[in-house]
Each structure stands twice: as C-alpha cells, then as structure tokens.
Amino acid sequence: MASDGDMSEAMKLFAERENLPTSMDSEELSLVARELRERSFFMSKVEDAVVLDRFRQAADDFVAGRKDRNTLDKELEAWLEAKGYNAPAGKAGGLQDLSSLRRISVVLTMNLDMVRGHARWLRMQQTLKVFPALQLVRVSDRVEKRQWPSRWIAAMDKLGSDTMAKRIEKGGGSPGDPISNWTLVAPVNDPIWIEISAFQQPYPPFDWGSGVGVRPVPRAQAKELDVLPPKDSPMAVPQERSLNETLEATPPLSTPEARDELSKDLGRFGEWEGDKIVFTDPDGTKPYTAEKLAEVWAKPAPPGYDQVSQRDELEAWDGGLTPDKTDPRVTLRRLFDRLQNAEPLPRELHRSYPLTPKAADELMTGLRRRVMSVPGDRAGWDFHAEAARAATIEPGAGWIVTLTVRGVTLAKDVRALRPAGKPGYVYVGGKVFRVVDFVQYPVSRRIAITLEEGVQP
C-alpha cells in the first residue's frame, strides 16, 4: 500500500498529465519510452481527446481515493455507451475495446503503478546511504510467470563492467516461479533497472502485468552481497529524472506530410530523429547544450503549454541574484544541472560584487584559512575581468571584491540562454574553492582573490 507521501507525489504528477490522442496499438506502445506512458494515456486506435480526458479524470479519482475501481469501471462503461462508442470490428471485450472492463482496469492500474513507482524512486534517492540497493521480488501472483532471472542475466551480460548487479542462487523456491529461486540485487541507481524494463525506466512496473517489484536492501546487507557502490561512483549519487527525459515514440507514419503534421501538433515538445519522434522535455532534465535548449525553447508551444518555468526563472535571474523563494532556486538548479558544455571552457572566469566594510573585514579573516565557499548560482561569471567589474553595482562606501578562478573545469556555459551583457557562466549549486592568493587595496577599496576549483562541500 502506498504511503501518504507516495500518494501525494502521485497526485502531483497526475495533475501535470496531458492526453495525446494516438493510433498506436498495445504492441507498438511497448516500444515507446517510459515517460510518454507516465505523461499521457495512450489509448489504442482512439483519437478522441474527449474520451482521453474522461479517462484521465477517472484516473485522478482513483489515485485520490475519491472512487473505487468497481465504481469507475461501471461509470466509464456507461459513459462510453452513452457517447455511442463502438469497439473496433472484432475487438469487442479485448484490450483495444475501451468500454471493456479488462481494458479499463489495465489503463487505471498501469498508470497508477507508474506514477507510484516514480514517486517512490524519487524518495529512494534521499535514502541511498541507508538503503543503497534494491532486490527484484515478486509482489503479486501471475498465472504465467516471466523468466525474470533470464532477463536479469542477459542485462548483466550486456552491461558488463557498467553494472554491479548480482544474481545469487538460493534454491528452495517455487518450481513454477523462477524468480523465487534467485536473489536478483543491484544498487538503486544501477543501469540494470533500465535495461530490464520494457519501458526504459529505473523503477517498477518493469513490464505489462509483470507482478514484480523491488525491495529496499539495507546498507549492511548490500555490503555483504557486494552491491554497495563506492563513494565516488555515480551510483552513490542521488539522481533526478524528469518524467519525460527519455520520452520517444516510433509512430507508423508512411508519408512526409503525416510526419510534418505531427511535428506541427507537438510544437516545441517534439522533434524527429530518424523514424523516432523525441520529446524535447523543455522544462525537465533531458541533457542539452545551452545552444540546443535555446533552440527548443524558441519553437512554438502547443496550445495551453506556453509556460517554461526554467526559461522564466532564468529571465528573472537578473543580475545573478539567488531568488528568495525555494521553488525558483530549485528550478534554476535543475536547469543548470542539465546543461552540457559544447565548447572548451575559458582558462579563467571572473566575478565581482560589492561588500560592506564589515563584511569585507570578515572576508579577509576567512581568506586566511585558504578555503572559500562561493554560492555558485548566486551570480554569474564572465571570462572577461573588465566585463565582470563593469557589471558590479556601485558599492558607495563599501568594497569591491573581484574573484578570478584559474583552471576552469566545472563551470556551465549558459551564454546562449542569457541576454547580451549578462554573465555567461555558472557554477552549479555552490563550490568550495582553494584560495591561491588574495590582495587588499585600501586606496581603491578593492579585494582581489585568485581561486582554484576544489571539492564540493
């Protein structure tokens, strides 16, 4: 049973859904990446957005606990009948018949499970030190049980040294359930979870009606099973994945005109890569260079989806001052985290800012420890020292602090996303710098500090 926290997160995610009509059937849907299933109800052979919206409302009622499954099944069946819906020829009662109880149950259950799975995965990222690994286990019985150990070992073979996953024979399980005879375990952020998933998602459900889920593995047990990732491993670092980061589909469109029409309908949400239509994830975590993200943002938005919070918060980041409220800070951090540098970084970056006399005295005392923590997203950095100084607010009777970072490797290039004259580089989330040198000039009331990148706090 989901906890209150799980259901709250699930409700928030459901509230953000949009319904995209589609003519794909269930077999074709299995090729679509996980996030499209989470963000939209794909209903086979139906292109009636009203029907899709009614199903979304039913799912919302189900997730919120306002109505039970039996009530929703009957309401949806009656609603479709009143609307005059008829199943496709020869499909009555099956998964392609939207009025069938079987299809209604599959739609409601699968979407709820995916939202709950994502919500729990987000929470797991905050408890990696306590529960650093997961075990694949059966959570509900099935008449036909898939060969999950075989799928697991195939994924291990494919990933090779990129996975820490283990398959340990334990015996004594049920003869009819292969998974009961094995311990299938891996770090929470091991790539094997995406590899075994039919939806390319790192959390359950991993396939249609699979009946398997995950069990958190405590740290001591993870160490004993040799699935405790080293501290410097990416698997030990909390991850964030937007619902649409890997969203894509391969629709069976036979003419250029049909492809163009789909592109027009999706606007900035989609672009073609060969035969795939890829969701661009304008406001999510999909990695981009600043130039590419600017190109995505510049495209027309589908009706009703004009807002891009990352773009809006960046525009409001005037002067590089950290927003007072938490949500804008989180939005900016999410934006900066997703950016990839397209070009080599400058050898040096500069930044200037004013300080009161009291703050300048405190700064000089702290500099003698040879370590300086600078909130990276508080202000932008420039590769011209003159430009950095020119952007500084006049300090009046205060001091001007000029920072120079040498040997730049960790900054993010945001020039393509910022207006001309605004700082073009950021250090994400704050960094600890090693103080190489500092000089105080009493006459000009300036403090010059030379830094080198150090470790994160």
Q: pTM (2 decimals)?
A: 0.64
Which of 214-223, 294-303, 307-316 is the least confident region? Answer: 307-316
**pLDDT tens for residues 7-37?**
344 434 333 333 333 343 343 333 233 334 3
Q: Give the percent of the chain with pLDDT over 90.
A: 25
What DSSP state is assigned to residue 283? Answer: T
pLDDT of 87 > 60? The answer is no
Q: What is the pLDDT of residue 107?
A: 59
| Pairing of the two strands 270-273 and 276-279 | antiparallel
- How far is the C-alpha of 184 from the C-alpha of 152, rounded, in Å? 7
Residue 111 and residue 41 in contact, taking contact as beta carbons nearer than 8 Å: yes
| DSSP symbols for 372-438 | EEE-TTTS-BBS-HHHHHHTSPP-TTSEEEEEEEES--S-EE-GGGS-TTS--EE-TT-EEEEEEEE
374, two tokens: 């600078």
337, two tokens: 């985290």
User: What count of other Cβ atoms lies within 10 Å of the Cβ of residue 270?
Assistant: 21
Read off the pLDDT band of 183 (50, 70, 90): very high
**pLDDT tens for residues 184-224?**
999 999 999 999 998 788 999 898 778 899 999 999 999 99
Residue 108 and residue 69 in contact, taking contact as beta carbons nearer than 8 Å: yes
Read off the pLDDT band of 319 (50, 70, 90): low
Q: Which of 335, 433, 349, 438 is nearest to 377 (CA)?
A: 335
Read off the pLDDT band of 49 (50, 70, 90): very low
**pLDDT tens for residues 231-288?**
889 899 888 887 677 777 776 665 677 678 778 878 888 888 998 888 889 888 899 9
Q: What is the pLDDT of residue 193?
A: 97
Better-scored residue on pLDDT, 75 or 429? 75
Better-scored residue on pLDDT, 145 or 357? 357
